[in-house]
Amino acid sequence: MATTPNRVAMLSVHTSPLHQPGTGDAGGMNVYIVELSKRLAAQGTEVEIFTRATSSDLPPLVELAPGVLVRHVTAGPYEGLVKEDLPGQLCAFAHGVLRTEAGHRRGWYDVVHSHYWLSGQVGWLAADRWGVPLVHTMHTMAKVKNAALAEGDCPEPAARIIGESQVVEASHRLIANTREEAEQLALHYGARSEQLAVVHPGVNLEVFRPATATPTGAVGDAVSHIRARLGLPRDAVVLLFAGRIQPLKAPDVLLHAVGLLLEEDPHLRDRLVVPVVGGPSGSGTAEPEALQKLAAALGISDVVRFQPPVGQRELADWYRAATALVMPSHSESFGLVALEAQACGTPVVAAAVGGLPVAVRDGETGFLVRGHDPRDWARVLRRYVDRPGLAERQGRAAARHAAAFGWDTAARATAEVYRESAWSLQRAAVASAS
């Protein structure tokens, strides 16, 4: 195998990199796959992303970027399947992947990189068939999610836990977002130390960057223009939630905290705005209006603004317009939106779970909150009301912190994992032959 892999088969069964993040099953993993693939291609490794076709109108092949192709694989009916139905379609999906490779010369793919356990099941078969290494990224783990289950959320099924265990055993390398995630893979799934590699995700620093001063004014004027364009008051305290609306992400904790703030200080009602940018996902689709009903029940509908998911460039403006991004999640493998907001010069108030303590520097680029008691969240959020310069000071530190997480760095580290896994597979083959 060449020093740098020539071509990677990237597997994303349940969600397409072409889908809009923030709704359905599209989220941080979609952003991860798109950005990583683009940077790998720019560094000399071609990427072909296999994903399930969800419409008969989709072309079999789409060029996402130079050196990055998206292949739509027919596996089951195009519409009406939820993620929980997909294990029954993995055989059909694997058939499509193997048939694609069979149309090329032998050795077309150098590495299989699967994302989420469903893709890992297919990757296990493909890598074994092609004699190449399987590199897998979990993104989330059933045992970890079940240990921190949100109220009203459904536990992950035993079938997923079994499937994840099989993928861990079959993988040559497991890429973890943080050292804590690597430790969880070892603790809960028996991952071996030689399998584990820690690669922090990145952020698109070209899209997500602080507001720049206008030709005739200061940075504050630029933020005011952005707020005006988004319909936000110039002097408001803007507490932003951005992401999929589901119990796991805990937007209800933010709303309860805002209710407490207004109860303690009714005068804040004229100064506080809480945009919720995203769409229902996962178990949140069972009652898509639940968050609106909660806002009404708490008497805060006048300060909460529900916005549909938006593209990355508009999302960057929401970050720039915010006083702080609020992430009360019960579980996060990393929390890419925390990096995106900080790259835009916006502090983050996040739950001290998963990779968020890596993404956010407590007290410097935002605050970490332990637990999900709305009273604790209200106390922390109140600081941005009482200390007007806090958001600006933390925002500057946040932008410096996020600048160290470029996708180019993540892509180079990932390519190194590919090289190491291929080398170890070759050594094992030589040892076996002798």
Q: Are 161 and 140 in contact (CB under 8 A)?
A: no
Task: Provide Rg for the chain, Cα atoms.
Answer: 22
Q: What is the spatial distance between Cα 409 and Cα 236, in angstroms, rounded to a whole number?
A: 37
Q: Are 326 and 351 in contact (CB under 8 A)?
A: no
411 is written with which tokens?
């892509």
343 is written with which tokens?
């790259």
Q: How many Cα atoms within 13 Å fall on the side-chain side of residue 339?
A: 25
Q: How many Cα atoms within 13 Å fall on the side-chain side of residue 115?
A: 27
Q: Which residues are annotated as a binding site for 1D-myo-inositol 3-phosphate?
A: 14, 25-30, 83, 116, 140, 160
Query: Which long-range contacts link 421-427 to residues 24+ away (Cβ below 8 Å)?
Result: 421/111, 421/133, 421/134, 421/135, 421/172, 421/173, 422/1, 422/5, 422/110, 422/111, 422/132, 422/133, 423/1, 424/133, 424/172, 424/194, 425/132, 425/133, 425/172, 426/1
How far is the first Cα of the chain from the last one, in angstroms, to the nearest whole number?
Answer: 20
Q: Which residues are annotated as a binding site for UDP-N-acetyl-alpha-D-glucosamine?
A: 20-21, 28, 244, 249, 310, 332, 340
Q: What is the spatial distance between Cα 157 and Cα 159, in angstroms, rounded to a whole number?
A: 5
Q: What is the spatial distance between Cα 70 and Cα 53, in angstroms, rounded to a whole number?
A: 10
Q: Which residues are annotated as a binding site for Mg(2+)?
A: 319-320, 322, 346
Q: What is the strand order of the sheet 7-12 is part of?
A: 61-65, 68-73, 46-52, 7-12, 111-115, 134-137, 173-176, 196-198
Q: Which residues are annotated as a binding site?
A: 14, 20-21, 25-30, 83, 116, 140, 160, 244, 249, 310, 319-320, 322, 332, 340, 346
Q: What is the spatial distance between Cα 36 and Cα 201, in angstroms, rounded to a whole number?
A: 8
List, in order, residues 6 or more apart from 226 with CB less than 8 Å away: 211, 317, 320, 321
